[in-house]
Amino acid sequence: MDRIVINGGHSLSGKVATGGSKNAALPLLFASLLANGTHRFNNVPKLMDIDSTAILLEHLDCTMHREGDQVTVETRTCAEPFAPYDIVRKMRASILCLGPLLARYGEARVSLPGGCAIGTRPINLHVEALGQLGAEMEVEGGYVHAWANHGLTGNTIVFENATVGGTENLLLAATLARGTTILENAAKEPEIVDLADYLRAMGARIEGDGSSVIHIEGVDQLQPAEHTVIPDRIEAGTLLLAGAISGGDVTVTQCVPGHLDALLKRLSDCGFELETGPDWMRIMPRSEWGAVDISTEPYPGFPTDLQAQFMALMTLAQGTSVITERIFENRFMHVQELARMGANITPKTQVAIVRGDSGALSGAPVMATDLRASASLVLAGLAAENETVVNRIYHLDRGYERLEEKLKTLGAQIERRSESEHPVS
């Protein structure tokens, strides 16, 4: 298994480009289940989660082909709308095949995804909402079996919590339902808008995406189309934070700064000077920065997917920061590992108190526990004295394309090594 070795303490500088968004690309690929023919997606990141999606789509009789960052999905009528446990367990977003399969074939059997390191992550809101479109459901043997013998029918659905995946599954299903569906308390993330844009290009009738109320007028049929995936706002934010924590001067290009308003505001509250253009943002060097509190919220609030990376920055801030995690119940797994590097953090149930004044971080062997926790350990390693070894980086590879290479172009002393090259001491 690979690990990342970082020799910290070097300021980063230069320009680095963001890739396509993982969380936008996944639902887009599942949208291709809605119409036979060739779907074309540009700016698709090369990541393990995209490979897992390819395996699932191939199981559902599609063929996925990649050339550079362009992916084509050739969709054929699916003989058996069935998503097995062995594929679904590798990636929770596999549940996004439920809506399109049900809408198109009137039936689907999809494995329940199970829990993951950051919490139980149920799919009750997806299932209940599909039930409101007329689907009947049965959960048996770890699978959800859903069917709608006479097709799905539009309805008004009020989500109890704004759920990103739930909103996407319902958007996908309602495009082919009879009549009008209204989604209330829908998620407003940019990835939802990107999905709606592609569905519209396919012939769907959708209005209101990006707000909390989405109207979908069902159509009889959709056609394949072409689409460019939006830039990954979480990767862009992570790269900007890498600049911040290293006291560097970093410009992140090919991004949408407007998708990161909450992060930019917080960085500016810390005392960082920032510049932004239509598709770039720059952070100026600072040797000291203030502590600020953050609380994760659905978009446009502070993203939970940047909480761990921001915490790494706060371990070196002047003063105390209170970090509240409101989206997931167990997303402080990075705290223990940051503590091994000398950070002073007191975790409570949903709150972590980070005392930045406790001095420098020192390099240590650490263990990545989930995707964003891995990124926070890499950031801490950039700022720490001496060598940090981040183990179990397969989590990082699920969501970041060549992060170490991108950081290297900014001057970081960072390398990927296989376990045999760098045994655990």
Residues belonging to the active site: 116
166 or 356: CB nearest ligand UD1? 166
Q: Which of 56, 110, 327, 410 binds ligand UD1 (CB under 6 A)?
A: 327
Applying CB under 6 A, what is the total number of residues that bind ligand UD1? Answer: 22
Structure tokens at 54: 């390819």
Q: Does 20 bind ligand UD1 (CB under 6 A)?
A: no
Q: Compare residues 164 and 396 and give the one whose CB is closer to ligand UD1.
A: 164
- What is the SS3 assignment for 120? coil
DSSP H or E segment with residue 207 = strand 205-207
Side chain identity, residue 126: H
Kindly tell me which residue out of 63, 156, 161, 223 binds ligand UD1, with binding defined by CB under 6 A: 161
Q: Which is nearer to ligand UD1, 99 or 248 (CB)?
A: 99
Q: Which of 165, 356, 363, 381 binds ligand UD1 (CB under 6 A)?
A: 165
Q: Examine residue 225 and tell whether it contacts ligand UD1 (CB under 6 A).
A: no
Structure tokens at 267: 């960085």
Which helix or strand (DSSP H or E) is residue 387 part of?
strand 387-391
Which segments within 120-187 are labelled E, that is strand? 136-140, 143-147, 156-158, 180-184
Q: Which of 36, 163, 251, 374 binds ligand UD1 (CB under 6 A)?
A: 163
Instruction: Output the CA angle 392-398-400, nearest 5 degrees.
Output: 100
Query: What residues between 349 and 408 interact with ligand UD1 by CB under 6 A?
Result: none
Task: State which amino acid sits at residue 263.
Answer: L
Site string for ligand UD1, 254-273 (x = CB under 6 A): --------------------
Measured distance CA(135)–CA(149) in Å, rounded: 8
Find the binder of ligand UD1 among 109, 126, 282, 395 (CB under 6 A).
126
In the complex, minimum distance from the CB of residue 95 to ligand UD1, in angstroms, rounded to a whole number: 8
Question: Given 3-state DSSP classes, what are the helix, strand and coil percentages for the chain, each rounded to the nearest 5?
Answer: 35, 30, 35
Number of residues that this document lists for the chain: 425
315 part of the interface to ligand UD1, by CB under 6 A: no
> 4 or 125: whose CB is closer to ligand UD1?
125
255 within 8 A of 279, measured Cβ to Cβ: yes
* Segment contacting ligand UD1 by CB under 6 A, of 2-10, 162-170, 249-257, 268-276: 162-170
Query: Which residues between 172 and 201 bind ligand UD1 (CB under 6 A)?
Result: 187, 191
Q: Does 122 bind ligand UD1 (CB under 6 A)?
A: yes
| Beta carbons of 264 and 281 less than 8 angstroms apart | yes
- Separation of alpha carbons 347 and 358, rounded Å: 16
Given 194, 197, 305, 397, the residue binding ligand UD1 (CB under 6 A) = 305
Q: Which of 63, 80, 115, 124 binds ligand UD1 (CB under 6 A)?
A: 124
Which residues in the 102-121 window bind ligand UD1 by CB under 6 A?
119, 121
The mark string for 24-43 relative to ligand UD1 (x by CB under 6 A, - otherwise) is: --x-----------------
293, amino acid identity: D
Separation between Cα atoms, residue 10 and residue 410, nearest integer Å:
10
- Does position 123 interact with ligand UD1 (CB under 6 A)? The reply is yes
Region of residue 121 (phi > 0: left; psi between -120 and 50: alpha; otherwise: beta) = left
Buried b (16+ CB within 10 A) or exposed e, 382-417: bbbeebbbbbebebbbbbbbebbebbbebebebebe
| Chain residues that interact with ligand UD1, rule: CB under 6 A | 23, 26, 92-93, 119, 121-126, 161, 163-166, 187, 191, 304-305, 327-328
